[in-house]
Chains A and B, each alone.
Chain A
Amino acid sequence: MAESAVLSNPLRAGMRGERTPQPCAVVIFGATGDLTKRKLLPALYNLALENPLPAGFSVVAVARRPFTNEQWREYVKDAINEFSRNRPVNPAVWETFSQGLFYHQTEFHDLAGYESLGQFLHRLDHERGINGNHLFYLATSPEYYPDIIQRLGQAKLAHKEGQGHLLAATHRGRNHVNHHDGNTGDAQDGDEMTGGWTRIVIEKPFGHDLESAKELNRKLLRVFAEDQVYRIDHYLGKETVQNILVFRFSNGIFEPIWNRRYIDNVQITVAEQVGVEGRAGYYESSGALRDIVQNHMLQLLSLTAMEPPVGFEANAVRDEKVKVLHAIPTLDLVQVSKNTVRAQYGQGWINGHLVPGYSEEPGVAPNSTTDTYVAMKLEVDNWRWAGVPFYLRTGKRMAKRVTEIDIEFKRPPFMLFKNTNVTELQPNVLSLRIQPDEGISLRFGAKVPGGTMRIRGVNMEFLYGSAFAGEPPEAYERLLLDCMLGDSTLFTRRDETEAAWGICTSILEGWADRPVSHLPIYEAGSWGPKEADALLERGGRDWRRL
């Protein structure tokens, strides 16, 4: 929460359901990139439209293209009209929102550009009452992260809360604009500055292996304190992902059976129907393991397997998540060979169209061994989960788009109905569907009506959309607002990021140790290669049919 605003403004006390940040400026690096256009700008506009954001709220774009403020505003308007869930733009709200849009051109390595950015922000602090509250959002290609972080530090733009008066003093003499004309008596010369806060949001990928992630963390934490850093994984902004915590810890009936005594295995699936969609350049150096497993899937696993936190606040939740990651042993070479499968999609039919194989996609090397599919068996070596396999699979060009966590319970210990037509009892399965058709289902056996004893598995369904039909905010809206409010619960901490990379790097190293000339091919539109089926069959299990 924006504690200082709440505490110093008595009207905020007890305001129900309101989450209003302090006046602040969001400074976007890489402002003309795809992420900014498709996600960030629509999200900021929707926040301004629906919340509303505080007076003085500003967005400062930092990029290399030569835009004027007016051109930037037109660019933003076009982005909103194209990608916002609320469109076209509301003219009256736009009038105010656009007044807070500014463009600052600089090369990312140019220190002078950051110093002039600092002067500009200082001017905004006074003119728009931002009071030194700056949120830097790194939406550039990751190769620019180190430069931007270092220059922000050199330009003294990374001040911690309460230290901004130093910055104010630094810049006051250079380019001070006195907007208040001496009328207020207390708002004319920067003395009212309390320093505000500075935070930085970093998009994925956060490094490409453990060492690079550690190096990026080192550079980051030379300039910013950990509590200023927000490593974003938009999956955590999804309502249904947050609901995992609610489902587990607000219901008394599940936690007692949420352990190795009752659960046979856990399956986590993140399946996409799309291919690389013009991102071959990025994907060739990434692959499914880095792109999906290291962040989204290990986050889902952590939330599924974590112990109850001592409180619902950022570090308490993250403490428990990171314990799960630390409890997953890194894989040695034999385990990588035995417990992981990687593959690449070949030609196939998706939605009635013939689609090319990965190696035929533009920008992909014909002999590429980049993984577009990964399946693996992980273990969580702790008291709760010892011996329970966690199966993860993710892939592109799969049969359908679905993200789901399936908790498969152990079968009943005794076959009561052995002298009847019933030959086998199916396990109960609790499915947490993240997308689409968000919801929860529980499969259990029921007697088929009739004189003979027959049992059929039936699903008890809860559809999120039918119980709560309101359209939830986009993940980026939730996460951006959390950043402004200083709530880092849904962002990954340094140790989490490194622990996740530790697991994935052991797999990458195992793969690198046994290079292959080609990967198994699975047909586009299928559920993956047969090698992945074999991974479960060895344990007497099957992938869930989704």
Chain B
Amino acid sequence: MNAEPTGQDVLAVEIQAIEDQWTRLWKETTAATPANGGHPATRNSVLNLVVFTQRAATAQAVDSALDELSQHHPARSVVLVAQPDQAQEEMKAWIDLSVYKQELRQGQNVSERVKIEAKGRAVDYLPGVVLPLLAANLPVFTWWADVPPLDQKVFERLSEVSDRMIVDSAEFASVGQYFLRLGQLSRSRQFNAAVSDLNWQRLAPWRELVAQFYDMKPAQPYLSAISQIVIEYAGSEANGRTVGVANPAQGMLLIGWLASKLNWIIVPGQQKQNGGVYHLALRSDLGAQIAVEIRPRVPEARKKPPLITSLREAQEDEHEAGPTWMASQMVAGALSTVTITSVHGGHTGVFVIRRSADHEHATTSCTIDGTPWGQARTVHLDSIGRSELMLAELEAFGHDEGFEDALSIAGGLAS
């Protein structure tokens, strides 16, 4: 599936032809495996995964990710490569049946995959091609592997057949616009699919670490007395300097989450953005002001791993492409430091989470009036590779109200 299809693999997009091809491959696979002395291949589909991309490079990266995903979640995958700007109107498909041996547990997985390429106006008809290819009675996950075309017909039609729509706000050029629109969609009664964001998953360890500060009883008064939050995130860079438009999505979502949990509201007209630095103002239900700064920052050490700004760049780097490499990447916009300051009872508490230079750990610390409070500690940060993030997404069902609340507020902050 990773290679470009040969002529004989390419099929006209006829559903019966695709099904026949799958049946043939199934027979070959099941006939071959017992002879090898292993466990017979098992047809265990647990979901349908539709992947949509508009870039050829992304499509290759998706292939690698699916190879890895298939080892964990045997699925019927339909990869849609759309090129709406092409003048030529064309649609073609090629299919694959892949057998994955489980190294740790017995048995072999078989996943089915079909890739459909559409050009020009044919893109609009992709949903109609996808529908009959979906395995019956299994949930449908749609992964928008690059920026989702929110205002295109294909987005609307695919969302109608999806149970879960997965986006990655690390890909968004304009966070505010997309957050607002996705927030509206997730709240819409007409929109049945749950929305999720890989960036929300990336934030999970950070949310956990922030929450852990306030699990300790003596620290809890400081939670309701937060006065300032400074968030630094990995920015795009050149020659060691932060450049270009950075992606503050993770920072926005973290603030959205805190605001939704602590009943903060946005102070109208006081959200400013200057050179990639966001100055935001919120107010607690007791009327206290919370000043927030979200700013890009070049990581201190870049030896391991190098910073990438997107899946596209990861794939375009021909020397380091592939899922293993991707698994250790830190995307642009990844949080590097969160500093929460509170004033309670005349004492100033500062709670800090700082990503380590190797990007794989974080150190948490607290000070009260400048004096360390408890010991600093280092924890492992979960892998942030897309495959791992997608794995978690494919195990989630239903709406995540925590995310949707955070998304709504983040949309308000960023727009």
Residues of chain A touching chain B, judged by Cβ–Cβ distance below 8 Å, are 5, 8-18, 20, 22-23, 48-50, 52, 54-56, 90, 92-93, 95-96, 99, 127-129, 131, 179-181, 183-187, 192, 194, 436-438, 461-471
B94-120 at interface with A (beta carbon < 8 Å): 102, 104-109
Residues of chain B touching chain A, judged by Cβ–Cβ distance below 8 Å, are 39, 42, 44, 46, 71-74, 102, 104-109, 204-205, 207-221, 223, 258, 261-262, 345-347, 356, 358, 360-361, 364, 368-369, 371, 373-375, 377-380, 382, 391, 396, 400-403
| Cα-based distance from A9 to B207 in the complex (angstroms) | 13
Closest CB-CB distance, A93 to chain B, in whole Å?
5
Instruction: Tell me how many residue pairs across A and B have CB atoms closer than 8 Å.
Output: 160
Chain A: CB-nearest residue to B382: A50
The answer to whether residues A436 and B380 also contact, given A10-B223, A183-B373 and a CB cut-off of 8 A, is: no
A436 and B364: CB pair below 8 A?
no
Cβ contacts under 8 Å, A438 to chain B: 105
| Cα-based distance from A425 to B160 in the complex (angstroms) | 47
16 further A-B pairs in the complex, CB-CB below 8 A; given A20-B211, A465-B104: A10-B261, A11-B214, A12-B215, A13-B261, A17-B396, A20-B215, A95-B378, A186-B218, A186-B221, A461-B42, A463-B106, A465-B105, A466-B108, A466-B109, A468-B46, A469-B71
Closest CB-CB distance, A351 to chain B, in whole Å?
17
Cβ contacts under 8 Å, A14 to chain B: 401-402
Chain B: CB-nearest residue to A466: B107
A93 and B105: CB pair below 8 A?
no
B208 and A55: CB pair below 8 A?
no
B368 and A463: CB pair below 8 A?
no
In-complex Cβ contact of A184 among B107, B109, B218 (8 A): B218
Cβ contacts under 8 Å, B108 to chain A: 466
A16 and B402: CB pair below 8 A?
yes
| Cα-based distance from A462 to B211 in the complex (angstroms) | 39
| Cα-based distance from A183 to B380 in the complex (angstroms) | 30
Closest CB-CB distance, B26 to chain A, in whole Å?
15
Interface centre among A11, A185, A194 (most CB of B within 10 A): A11
Cβ contacts under 8 Å, A12 to chain B: 211, 215
Majority secondary structure, A binding face: loop
A96 and B378: CB pair below 8 A?
yes
Cβ contacts under 8 Å, A466 to chain B: 42, 44, 74, 102, 105, 107-109
Majority secondary structure, B binding face: mixed
Cβ contacts under 8 Å, A127 to chain B: 374
Closest CB-CB distance, A123 to chain B, in whole Å?
14
A9 and B223: CB pair below 8 A?
yes
A23 and B215: CB pair below 8 A?
yes
In-complex Cβ contact of A463 among B44, B377, B378, B402 (8 A): B44
The answer to whether residues A9 and B211 also contact, given A129-B216, A468-B72 and a CB cut-off of 8 A, is: yes
Cβ contacts under 8 Å, A96 to chain B: 375, 377-379
A469 and B361: CB pair below 8 A?
no
| Cα-based distance from A464 to B368 in the complex (angstroms) | 50
A184 and B347: CB pair below 8 A?
yes
The answer to whether residues A93 and B380 also contact, given A185-B345, A437-B107, A465-B105 and a CB cut-off of 8 A, is: yes
Cβ contacts under 8 Å, A470 to chain B: 72, 391
Chain A: CB-nearest residue to B360: A92
In-complex Cβ contact of A181 among B221, B346, B371 (8 A): B371
Cβ contacts under 8 Å, B375 to chain A: 96, 99, 128
Closest CB-CB distance, A9 to chain B, in whole Å?
5
In-complex Cβ contact of B380 among A52, A129, A179, A181 (8 A): A52
A186 and B345: CB pair below 8 A?
yes
Interface centre among A13, A17, A184 (most CB of B within 10 A): A184
Chain A: CB-nearest residue to B258: A11
Chain B: CB-nearest residue to A463: B107
| Cα-based distance from A437 to B39 in the complex (angstroms) | 10
The answer to whether residues A8 and B217 also contact, given A15-B207, A437-B106 and a CB cut-off of 8 A, is: yes
Cβ contacts under 8 Å, B218 to chain A: 129, 180, 184, 186-187, 192
| Cα-based distance from A180 to B219 in the complex (angstroms) | 12
